[in-house]
Amino acid sequence: MKTMQPNKVTMGSRLKYVARLSGFAVAMFGFGYLMVPLYDKFCEVTGLGGRTAGGPVAEYLPTEEDTSRLVTVHFDSNVNSSLPWYFEPIEKTMKVHPGRMYETMYRATNYSDQPVVAQAVPSVAPGQAALFFNKTECFCFTEQLLAPGETKDMPVRFFVHPDLPSDTNLVTLSYIIYKNEDATAQQVVALNP
Partner 1 sequence: MTDATLAHHDSHDHHPKGLARWLFTTNHKEIGTLYLVFSLIMFFVGGAMALVIRAELFAPGLQLVHPEFFNQMTTMHALVMIFGAVMPAFVGLANWMVPLMIGAPDMALPRMNNWSFWIMPFAFTLLLSTLFMPSGGPASGWTLYPPLSLQGGNSLAFVILAIHLMGISSIMGAINIIATILNMRAPGMTLLRMPMFVWTWLITAFLLIAVMPVLAGAVTMLLTDRFFGTSFFNAAGGGDPVLYQHIFWFFGHPEVYIMILPAFGIVSEIIPTFSRKKLFGYTSMVYATASIAFLSFIVWAHHMFTVGMPLGAALFFMYATMVIAVPTGVKIFNWVSTMWRGSMTFETPMLFALGFVVLFTIGGLSGVMLAIVPADFQYHDTYFVVAHFHYVLVTGAVFAIMASVYYWLPKWTGHMYNETLGKVHFWWSAFWVNVLFFPQHYLGLAGMPRRIPDYAIQFTEFNVISSIGGFAFGIGQLLFVYIVWQCARGGQKATDGVWEGARGLEWTVPSPAPLHTFDTPPDIDHPDLVAHTGGTQ
Binding site for partner 1 (CB under 8 A): 1-2, 4-7, 9, 13-14, 17-18, 21-22, 24-33, 35-36, 39, 43, 46, 48-49, 80, 119, 121, 127-128, 176, 178-180
Q: Which is nearer to partner 1, 17 or 60 (CB)?
A: 17
- Closest approach of partner 1 to the CB of residue 64, in Å: 27
Q: Which is nearer to partner 1, 24 or 111 (CB)?
A: 24
- Closest approach of partner 1 to the CB of residue 98, in Å: 21
- Closest approach of partner 1 to the CB of residue 121, in Å: 6
Sheet holding 116-125, edge to edge: 93-96, 71-79, 170-179, 116-125, 144-146
Amino acid at the residue 32: G
Give the 3-state secondary structure of residue 106: strand
Q: Do the Cβ atoms of 89 and 106 come closer than 8 Å?
A: yes
Q: Which is nearer to partner 1, 101 or 176 (CB)?
A: 176
Q: Which is nearer to partner 1, 128 or 136 (CB)?
A: 128
Which residues face 76 on adjacent strands?
174
Helix and strand totals (H; E) in the chain: 2, 9
> Pairing mode, if any, of strands 170-179 and 71-79?
parallel
- Closest approach of partner 1 to the CB of residue 87, in Å: 14
